[in-house]
Amino acid sequence: MRTDFKTAAFWALAALLAAIPFSNALFEIASCAFIGFFLLSLFQKKDFIFFRQTFFTLILIYFLMNLLSFARTEYPDASVRGLLKVLKNILLCAGAAYVIDSEKRFRAVFWTILIAAVFAGLDAWIQGMRGVDLLGRHPTAFYGTVGRLTGPFRHANDFAAYLSVVFFLFLAAVTDGFAVFSRRKYLFCLAGSILTAGCLVVTYSRGAWIAVAVVFLISACVKRNRITAAFLAAGVVFVLFFSPPLVKQRLGRLFEPGRDTLVERKALWGESIQMIRTSPLIGLGVNTYARNEMKFKTSHTDFQYAHNGYLQMAAEIGLFGLFSFLAVVVYFLTKCPRAAARSPGPYVQMAGPGLAFAVAAFLLGSAADTSLHSLRLVNFFWILMGIGWSAKNV
């Protein structure tokens, strides 16, 4: 009997999506299994023609731009590791688009993400009450004397980036799921949207707040849906009248450029720009930012990421590399909703735009944080693009 590697890859993908918020080890095991089964299925079925699409051509160009940055790298060992990480992201995206070939599979991965997100949110609320999450590995982070929820992640900002993604998937289910879900499933999605929004507030991550607010406003303008408008109005009322004092304080400090982390961000971005000027076209080498940063220090900030995924990407793989990445995501954001709208499957029609808004929120938040260089988060981002692109396949 011939082994169906495509089905095995699909179940590995489901395990991968369930593990993303909770465990690096399980995530790595599942991702290796998924990529392995995906490649075995691809060679077994000889479905290479599937990847003769503009989307995958743009992804190939992005990979080649990463490879081109080797011409300037002074740290080939770090660049080889970085190139392998990029290749892994691409394989996760391509594999997800390939193995999700029916609405049944699309529906399964959609619910896997939502159920995992609810457990992550409950884990975070337990952390808020006990001071440590359910598994006992992550204590509450603090901003002054106020606890910040990190959930199953190590840092509140990483948790906020994850929440900003899953929130828009819940929102899509709530606003467009009447004809798709049973009452029980609809109430589950409504509760999930409230849970993730509440957790997002208590991460006190301003970058994620702004990203969600901007994309939420865009979605309200695009959809012109009463439920979306009601959610937007409720959010405005909450921020103005019922939000915790620290929320108002954190937002207020955005308009005080001489205080808080804004000074540090400005210094880090200035260092990144200096790195880009050194090799503007092809960068200083993929995955070499941490190695090169010490040469460009102009302040007493700690050695760390640029806190802007796009500046860091340009510093590592140049403006050519950055533009190739932006070409991939712009093409995805313009084509994914259209492909979903043409799909005969109600789940795909409902979730497709939500995936596009989720990806947009992640990308916007990455302009002020490290999400594009957090292993689990950037893997999740590429998988989401693969799931969204599968709408053409479904």
Tens of pLDDT, residue by residue over 105-155, are: 999 999 999 999 999 999 998 998 888 877 767 777 766 656 788 999 988
Neighbours of 100 (CB within 10 A): 27
| H-run or E-run covering 210 | helix 206-223
In a domain? residue 41:
no
CA distance 92 to 381: 10
* Amino acid letter, 26: L
For residues 78-106, give the mean pLDDT: 95
For residues 161-187, give the mean pLDDT: 90
In a domain? residue 153:
yes
In a domain? residue 235:
yes
For position 1, what pLDDT does the model report? 46
CA distance 354 to 106: 13
Compute CA 110 distance to the chain's CA centroid, rounded to the nearest angstrom: 15
Number of structural domains in the chain: 1
In a domain? residue 152:
yes
Q: What is the largest CA-CA distance in the chain?
A: 68
Report helix, strand or coil for 147: strand
Mean model confidence pLDDT for the chain:
88
- Residue 119 burial class via C-beta count within 10 angstroms: exposed 0-12, middle 13-18, buried 19 and up: middle
Compute CA 195 distance to the chain's CA centroid, rounded to the nearest angstrom: 19
The residue among 33, 29, 43 whose CA lies nearest residue 10 is: 33
Model confidence pLDDT, tens digit, residues 282-333:
999 999 998 888 888 776 666 567 889 999 999 999 999 999 999 999 999 9
The residue among 314, 293, 296, 295 whose CA lies nearest residue 304 is: 293
Q: What is the DSSP letter of 106?
A: H
Model confidence pLDDT, tens digit, residues 223-240:
777 777 777 777 767 766
Q: What are the C-alpha distances in Å from 179 to residues 99, 109, 183, 225, 229?
A: 26, 19, 10, 15, 19
The residue among 93, 38, 83, 91 whose CA lies nearest residue 331 is: 93
For residues 32-38, give the mean pLDDT: 96
Q: What sign for the dihedral angle of Cα 77, 78, 79, 83?
A: positive
Percent of residues, the chain, with pLDDT higher than 70: 88
Which structure tokens are listed for 372? 């594009």
Contacts of residue 308, Cβ cutoff 8 Å, sequence gap at least 6 = 265, 268, 269, 272, 366, 367, 368, 369
In a domain? residue 9:
no
Beta-bridged to residue 142, according to DSSP, are 147
**Per-residue pLDDT band at 260 (split at 50, 70, 90):** low
Contacts of residue 266, Cβ cutoff 8 Å, sequence gap at least 6 = 257
The backbone region for 302, taken as left when phi is positive above 0, alpha when psi lies in -120 to 50, beta otherwise, is beta
CA distance 106 to 277: 44
Compute CA 275 distance to the chain's CA centroid, rounded to the nearest angstrom: 26
For position 340, what pLDDT does the model report? 85
Whether the per-residue pLDDT at 27 is higher than 60: the answer is: yes
Is residue 315 within 8 A of residue 292, CB to CB? The reply is yes
In a domain? residue 122:
yes
- Tell me how many degrees the CA angle 58-59-65 measures, rounded to the nearest 5: 90
Give the domain range for residue 228: 51-393
In a domain? residue 56:
yes
| H-run or E-run covering 142 | strand 141-143
For position 98, what pLDDT does the model report? 95
For position 167, what pLDDT does the model report? 95
CA distance 271 to 265: 10
Percent of residues, the chain, with pLDDT higher than 90: 56
Q: What is the DSSP letter of 179?
A: T
Q: What is the DSSP letter of 239?
A: I
The residue among 274, 280, 367 whose CA lies nearest residue 317 is: 280
In a domain? residue 38:
no
pTM here is 0.92
CA distance 141 to 145: 10
CA distance 293 to 384: 31
- Residue 136 burial class via C-beta count within 10 angstroms: exposed 0-12, middle 13-18, buried 19 and up: exposed
